[in-house]
Amino acid sequence: MRVIDSHTGGEPTRLILSGGPDLGGGSLAERAHRLFRSHRDFCSAVLSEPRGHDAMVGALLVPTTDLAAAAAVIYFNPIGPLGMCGHATIGTAVSLHHLGRLDLGRHQLETPVGTVGVHLQAANRAAVENVESDRYRADVAVEVPGQGRISGDIAWGGNWFFLTPDVPAPLTLAHVDQLTTSAVALRQALAEQGITGRDGAAIDHIEFVGPPLTRVGHARNFVLCPGTAYDRSPCGTGSAAKLACLAADGDLAPGVTWIQESVIGSTYALHYRPGPTGGVIATIAGTAFVTGDAVLNFDPADPYRAGITSHEVY
């Protein structure tokens, strides 16, 4: 299996070029569901230790159904499928350019939640025009054991987010463990109290939002991804969800640049235009670098060929 590894603002992407499973026909959303329903071992083997780690996101190239799209990509992490992934879209565009498969300029990429625009501005920089984002509910209160009442917004940015300014610790690397523990407890409380996204969709991302720590930033965040890994980048879909909330509150006008910092200090530059159904179409610009070009081997005799998971091997 040939892969190209990259990172966008510190967050890794593994682009799978060949050797993936046959997902059959149908829409990209159907094939994404089929990937994790029928090929869970593939997802774990590609991303989990010993070949990867829990913060890595996979990007599987598949045949397109949208003739206007330069490529079609299914995103997933070791826990499950992702609808859209901003950092991985930037990483995919930069990786395809590295391979000579994508020229500088404007393109479209097909994802399970819709086709997105990608402007490859330089060899290592791309701007993604995301699917429409919107705030679903504002000022939602949830009781979290050991933390008390926490209030925040529920928003869609390509994945479902609970965004809150009730930050349990400084948004720095030194406090990642505390932030992770608090975010996991908050996500569990949301599920237990029946607080969901639209149509009962599970809220699988938690976003703590606080003031910036640089002169150029407008805000800093910590984002818990599905599972227990945190986003090293400012999280593209999470930043789009943040813009949807800012727009809904009248705190950010269309076209005005918003600089979002991550917990490690990397940044995205964002702006938005009004969406067709009342939300926002966010553009997320960031920098990615290719870190590896490799062939992954899966020896049938390897007891960890499907990755190190919660199931022990005897």
Render pLDDT for 258-291 as a digit per residue (tens, 0 to 9): 999 999 999 999 999 999 999 999 999 999 999 9
192-248 pLDDT tens trace: 999 999 999 999 999 999 999 999 999 999 999 999 999 999 999 999 999 999 999
Query: With 50 as the cut, is the pLDDT of residue 313 above it?
Result: no
- Active site annotation includes 235: yes
Q: pLDDT tens digit string along 135-187?
A: 999 999 999 999 999 999 999 999 999 999 999 999 999 999 999 999 999 99
Say yes or no to pLDDT of 303 above 60. yes
The confidence band for 5, taking pLDDT boundaries of 50, 70 and 90, is very high
Q: Which of 43, 225, 235, 245 is catalytic?
A: 235
Element (H, E) at 259: strand 258-261
Q: What is the pTM of this model?
A: 0.95
For residues 304 and 6, what is the distance between their CA atoms, to the nearest angstrom?
Answer: 24
Q: How far is CA 119 from CA 41, 107, 127, in A?
A: 34, 6, 5
- Is residue 245 part of the annotated active site? The answer reads no
CA 108 to CA 94: how far, in whole Å?
A: 14
Q: Which of 43, 85, 225, 245 is catalytic?
A: 85
SS3 content of the chain, % helix, strand, coil (to 5): 20, 40, 40
Average model confidence (pLDDT) across the chain: 95
Distance of CA 25 to the CA centre of its chain: 25
Residue 81 confidence (pLDDT): 85
- pLDDT score of 40 more than 90: no
Element (H, E) at 284: strand 280-295
User: What's the rounded Cα separation, in Å, for the pair 103 and 224?
Assistant: 33
Contact 54, 11 (CB under 8 A): no
